[in-house]
């Protein structure tokens, strides 16, 4: 056993990276890699690690964050639509499994109440493993995924009375009555009610105020506080922490903050879930598995067959076809972490002989270790059992209107608008008028709420968040438009966009072209300086009022744009031009240089001047009272020519020295 905590963490990280990478390259689920790391490093193999209270808490938090993010996908109306599956089918699965398992243990001499507790331990499945694997396989919204999720929710609630029963038996109480279970269930109901009430009346106003501050770190802290606070309340009432977190997420599912909340919580969830799977692997006692291999194998097979059979029967009676019913049964056939918790309490209290509980515990852990493979191949297993071939269709759960709007848009060609202020809204109106779809993001909670109330596809979120960009469909977007005036914000968004996709056109709006080079270097396809565009619009209207041909006006404006607004740079300063209001574009001053006799520039072309390292824009040349705008660089200079140059003070100084050199 390693004594250095930092060394333990380093070994754990190295092992996880190597094993999980190997598992993914072999085409195996990442969960299986984490489980294998736990088996190898745990106390029953190389003995480098032993589970502690800290690692156990952190791994439980992984499950908390997983259920919290899943709650974001299941709004309250959606849960009400699933109540038949949760309370009807879920209760039937738990009750029938407990009865069947209790009969088996009664037959081998276990007392009635301990047999019921053992039945409860086997009846529950692993919420974390099943939901994580189904999510990776994009099966959570399929019929069997929806059914499995509903049953898992009820199992989490049913865990409370079984936990109370196991605790009472471990403490030596043999007169345990249903009244104690009722008290435990009553506490669970109160905890659920408290979380729901807080979510409905406190969460949205709280997040609105925090989002209004525009401090991203504060928003992250608030999300962690909400998830962990709900878990703490439910845990204090005897309900699983994951249940409280799920309810809190569900309360946020219909708010404008759902996408940003999910993006914030995902890194914490992924890291801590990996630790949870490693901790499960550490529980696999290789010695017991070796000594009682055939007994454990028989228990494992019996558990998988019994649980899948009962769940299949319940699903068939609920109206599902055979294929989907059997698929649901196989998904829920493994054991779970709550079962391990119940067995641990029974073993510590010596309620049941260890010759029974030890093999049962190892069989449950082994079922969790093998669960990712079974889940991954659940479709093939069912098709083999039913001797079916050919394509098989599955129905999906009807999404909420808000989810349908965002997900449908994200899966089709659309324009992503980063920032839904005046510019973003005007752009959206133009796109609407041309029947072009868009999906907008903004960090102003009031603006997002108003847009959502108007039925517009606008979500709350930070457009520089890579995960959020994936969720809004950057992969299928035709273009990205950044409407924020701050170049620093635009550069952050550009880098996030280009880290995911290099080919999508990105249009950036800025106040001026002071950071044009930085924006282009960050990946902007086009940069639109607002000040210059306003000048061009005024100029085009003025030219048309002066009866200039429209084609000529369009050509003139187009030439200026194609030249990156070079003609518009430079400012003749007056007393009202304050230095602190100047930008780099404004600093491009204008200077007139008169060519005297004997100067180096006499009879030389502007190209010759440029070759001497002059970096200014030659705006015009005045010769004998005639002004030549945008002179050709082949023009040869003469004595008395007045050259109007635009550029920075240093560039103008250098140009004047070159032109006037003797």
Q: Is the pLDDT confidence value at 311 over 90? A: yes
Q: Is the pLDDT confidence value at 607 over 70? A: yes
Residue 173 has a pLDDT of 58
186/626: higher pLDDT: 626
Alpha carbon distances (Å) from 376 to 30, 146, 327: 11, 16, 11
Last residue of a domain, one of 524, 540, 562: 524
Q: Are residues 642 and 505 in the same domain?
A: no
What angle in degrees, to the nearest 10, is found between the helix axes of 258-282 and 5-25?
Answer: 100
- The range of the structural domain enclosing residue 407 comes to 401-524
Q: Give dist(CA 597, CA 585) in Å, integer.
A: 33
* 572 is a domain residue: no
CATH number of 411's domain: 3.40.50.720
287/114: higher pLDDT: 114
* 27 is a domain residue: no
Residue 242 has a pLDDT of 74
Per residue in 457-476, pLDDT (tens digit) is 888 888 888 888 888 889 88
Q: Are residues 376 and 405 in the same domain?
A: no
Q: What is the DSSP letter of 199?
A: I
Q: Are residues 283 and 381 in the same domain?
A: yes
Residue 93 has a pLDDT of 93
Q: Are residues 459 and 349 in the same domain?
A: no
Least confident of 112-126, 421-435, 532-546, 583-597: 583-597
* 34 is a domain residue: no
Q: Are residues 513 and 455 in the same domain?
A: yes
Last residue of a domain, one of 524, 554, 588: 524
What angle in degrees, to the nearest 10, is found between the helix axes of 354-376 and 258-282?
Answer: 130
Residue 565 banded pLDDT, cuts 50, 70, 90: low
Per residue in 340-349, pLDDT (tens digit) is 878 877 887 7
Q: Are residues 101 and 221 in the same domain?
A: yes
Residue 388 has a pLDDT of 64
Q: Give dist(CA 416, CA 389) in Å, integer.
A: 42
- The structure tokens listed for 624 are 């004998």
Q: Is the pLDDT confidence value at 163 over 80? A: no
CATH number of 644's domain: 3.30.70.1450
Q: Are residues 307 and 375 in the same domain?
A: yes
Q: Is the pLDDT confidence value at 155 over 80? A: yes
* 8 is a domain residue: no
- For the CA atoms of the chain, what is the radius of gyration? 34
The structural domain count of the chain equals: 3
Q: Are residues 132 and 58 in the same domain?
A: yes
Per residue in 25-64, pLDDT (tens digit) is 776 667 778 878 888 887 777 777 766 666 677 777 877 8
Residue 97 has a pLDDT of 94
Q: Give dist(CA 85, CA 82) in Å, integer.
A: 5
- From the CB of residue 271, how many other CB atoms can be counted at a distance below 10 Å? 14
Residue 99 banded pLDDT, cuts 50, 70, 90: very high
Last residue of a domain, one of 493, 524, 555: 524
CATH number of 140's domain: 1.20.1530.20
Q: Are residues 244 and 105 in the same domain?
A: yes
Q: Give dist(CA 175, CA 655) in Å, integer.
A: 101
Residue 309 has a pLDDT of 93
Q: Is the pLDDT confidence value at 98 over 90? A: yes
Per residue in 491-504, pLDDT (tens digit) is 889 999 999 999 99
Q: Give dist(CA 503, CA 77) in Å, integer.
A: 40
* 6 is a domain residue: no
Q: Are residues 405 and 489 in the same domain?
A: yes
* 17 is a domain residue: no
* 465 is a domain residue: yes
Residue 400 has a pLDDT of 45
Residue 283 banded pLDDT, cuts 50, 70, 90: confident
When the pLDDT of each residue in the chain is averaged and rounded to a whole number, the result is 79
Q: Is the pLDDT confidence value at 307 over 90? A: yes
Residue 54 has a pLDDT of 67
Residue 566 banded pLDDT, cuts 50, 70, 90: low
Q: Give dist(CA 101, CA 120) in Å, integer.
A: 9
Judged by DSSP in three states, 583 sits in coil
List the beta bridge partners of residue 628. Answer: 621
Q: Are residues 499 and 599 in the same domain?
A: no
Q: Once rounded to an integer, what is the mean pLDDT over residues 322-327?
A: 89
Q: Are residues 359 and 406 in the same domain?
A: no
Specify whether the CB–CB gap between 172 and 114 falls below 8 A: no
Q: What is the 3-state secondary structure (H, E, C) of 116-162?
A: HHHHHHHHCCCHHHHHHHHHHCCCCCEHHHHHHHHHHHHHHHHHHHH
Angle at 345 between CA 342 and CA 349, to 5 degrees: 145
> Could you tell me the strand order of the sheet in which 414-418 lies?
458-460, 438-442, 414-418, 477-482, 506-510, 526-529
Q: Once rounded to an integer, what is the mean pLDDT over residues 203-218?
A: 77
Tally the residues of the chain. Answer: 662
Q: What is the 3-state secondary structure (H, E, C) of 301-353?
A: HHHHHHHHHHHHHHHHHCCCCHHHHHHHHHHCCCCCHHHHHHHHHHHHCCCCC
Q: Is the pLDDT confidence value at 86 over 50? A: yes
Q: Is the pLDDT confidence value at 402 over 70? A: no
Angle at 341 between CA 340 and CA 344, to 5 degrees: 85
Per residue in 352-400, pLDDT (tens digit) is 887 888 888 888 888 888 888 898 888 889 888 887 654 444 434 444 4
* 123 is a domain residue: yes
Q: Is the pLDDT confidence value at 575 over 70? A: no
**If residue 518 lies in a helix (H) or strand (E), which one and from where to where?**
helix 516-522
Angle at 412 between CA 410 and CA 414, to 5 degrees: 75
């Amino acid at each position: 056993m390693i004594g250095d905590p930092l060394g333990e963490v380093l070994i754990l990280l190295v092992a996880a990276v190597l094993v999980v990478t190997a598992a993914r390259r072999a085409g195996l689920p990442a969960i299986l890699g984490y489980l294998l790391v736990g088996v190898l490093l745990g106390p029953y193999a190389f003995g480098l690690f032993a589970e502690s209270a800290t690692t156990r808490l952190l791994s439980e938090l992984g499950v908390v964050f997983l259920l919290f993010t899943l709650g974001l996908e299941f709004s309250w109306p959606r849960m009400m639509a699933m109540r038949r599956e949760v309370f009807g089918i879920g209760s039937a699965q738990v009750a029938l499994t407990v009865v069947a398992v209790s009969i088996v243990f009664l037959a081998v001499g276990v007392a009635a109440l301990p047999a019921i507790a053992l039945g409860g331990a086997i009846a529950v499945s692993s919420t974390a493993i099943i939901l994580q694997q189904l999510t990776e396989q994009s099966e959570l919204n399929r019929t069997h995924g929806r059914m499995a999720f509903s049953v898992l929710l009820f199992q989490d609630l049913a865990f409370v009375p079984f936990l109370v029963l196991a605790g009472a038996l471990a403490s030596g109480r043999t007169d345990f009555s249903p009244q104690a279970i009722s008290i435990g269930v009553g506490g669970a109901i109160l905890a659920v009610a408290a979380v729901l009430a807080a979510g409905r009346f406190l969460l949205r106003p709280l997040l609105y105020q925090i989002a209004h501050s525009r401090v991203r770190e504060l928003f992250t802290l608030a999300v962690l506080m909400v998830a962990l606070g709900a878990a703490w309340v439910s845990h204090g009432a005897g309900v699983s922490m994951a249940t409280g977190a799920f309810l809190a997420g569900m309360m946020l599912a219909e708010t404008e903050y759902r996408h940003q909340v999910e993006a914030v919580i995902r890194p914490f969830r992924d890291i801590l879930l990996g630790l949870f799977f490693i901790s499960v692997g550490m529980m696999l006692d290789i010695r017991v598995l070796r000594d009682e291999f055939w007994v454990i194998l028989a228990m494992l097979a019996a558990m998988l067959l019994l649980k899948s059979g009962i769940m299949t029967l319940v699903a068939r009676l609920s109206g599902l076809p055979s294929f989907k019913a059997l698929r649901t049964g196989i998904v829920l056939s493994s054991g779970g972490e709550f079962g391990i918790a119940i067995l641990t309490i029974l073993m510590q209290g010596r309620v049941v002989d260890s010759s029974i509980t030890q093999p049962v515990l190892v069989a449950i852990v082994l079922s969790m270790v093998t669960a990712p493979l079974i889940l991954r191949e659940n479709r093939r297993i069912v098709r083999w059992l039913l001797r079916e071939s050919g394509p098989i269709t599955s129905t999906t759960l009807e999404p909420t209107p808000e989810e349908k709007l965002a997900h449908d848009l994200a899966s089709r060609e659309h324009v992503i608008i980063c920032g839904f202020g005046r510019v973003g809204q005007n752009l959206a109106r133009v796109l609407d008028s041309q029947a072009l779809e868009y999906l907008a993001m903004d960090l102003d909670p009031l603006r997002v709420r108003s847009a959502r109330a108007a039925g517009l596809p606008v979500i709350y979120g930070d457009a520089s968040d890579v995960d959020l960009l994936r969720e809004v469909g950057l992969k299928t977007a035709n273009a990205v438009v950044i409407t924020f005036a701050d170049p620093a914000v635009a550069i952050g968004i550009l880098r996030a966009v280009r880290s995911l996709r290099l080919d999508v056109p990105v249009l950036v709006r800025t106040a001026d072209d002071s950071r044009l080079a930085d924006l282009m270097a960050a990946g902007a396809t086009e940069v639109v300086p607002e000040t210059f565009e306003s000048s061009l619009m005024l100029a085009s209207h003025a030219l048309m009022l002066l009866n200039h041909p429209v084609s000529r006006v369009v050509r003139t404006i187009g030439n200026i744009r194609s030249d990156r607004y070079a003609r518009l740079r430079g400012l003749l300063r007056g007393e009202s031009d304050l230095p602190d209001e100047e930008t780099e574009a404004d600093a491009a001053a204008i200077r007139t240089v008169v060519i005297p006799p004997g100067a180096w520039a006499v009879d030389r072309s502007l190209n010759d001047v440029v070759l001497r390292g002059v970096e200014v824009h030659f705006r015009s040349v005045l010769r004998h009272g005639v002004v030549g705008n945008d002179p050709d660089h082949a023009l040869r200079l003469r004595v008395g020519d007045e050259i109007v140059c635009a550029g920075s003070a240093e560039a103008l100084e250098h140009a004047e020295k070159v032109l006037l050199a003797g």
